[in-house]
Amino acid sequence: MTVTNSKMSQSVQYPEVTLERARRAVRCAPFLLKLYIAMREEGVFLGEIAGTAGFKAGYTEIPIPELNAENDLLWLINVGVLRREVDGQGITDSFRLTPLGRLVVREWQEHGESWQATLTTFDRMTNWLRRWLRLPF
């Protein structure tokens, strides 16, 4: 089964396994919906996400050390939910949603808190294994 993102000028289709992996990774990440919504509109710098800045901005439930936040963001890049922004000098420490990320965030917004509550222990274990073993599927 594939899902089409009809709001894109070009139709992007994702296999269900890709969507499930992205949903699981986002639900397991320590970030709140507010961060993903901000990343949909513009790039968000790592310094705005990590530590007390991220907590005060409502991007995390607790302050997260910068190294941990960056590792979580890099995993979301690997899964295809985020990308790093690029400026005239190269890659920056700013992150933004990909089309896949936009689709997952839209689902989260439509389902609200119940979407996050569907996370199971099996989901956490699966995400952890895929993340640390870098399994592609």
What is the reported pLDDT for 10?
47
Residue found under tokens 């996050």: 116
Question: pTM of the full predicted structure?
Answer: 0.83
Residue 135's pLDDT is 58
pLDDT-derived band of residue 122, with 50, 70 and 90 as boundaries? confident
Mean model confidence pLDDT for the chain: 87
pLDDT tens-digit map of 28-59: 999 999 999 999 999 999 999 999 999 999 99
Q: Which residue has the tokens 């569907």?
A: 118
Q: Please say if the pLDDT value at position 128 is more than 80.
A: yes
What is the pLDDT, as a whole number, of residue 117?
A: 72
Q: Is pLDDT at 4 greater than 80 in this prediction? A: no
pLDDT of amino acid 35:
97
* pLDDT tens string 72-107: 999 999 999 999 998 878 778 899 999 999 999 999
| Widest CA span in the chain | 43
Sequence-distant contacts of 42-47: CB under 8 A, at least 24 apart: 42/96, 43/85, 43/92, 43/94, 43/95, 43/96, 44/94, 44/95, 44/96, 45/92, 45/93, 45/94, 45/95, 46/70, 46/73, 46/93, 46/94, 46/95, 47/93
Taking Cα atoms as reference points, which of 107, 101, 115 lies closest to residue 40?
101
Contact 20, 130 (CB under 8 A): no
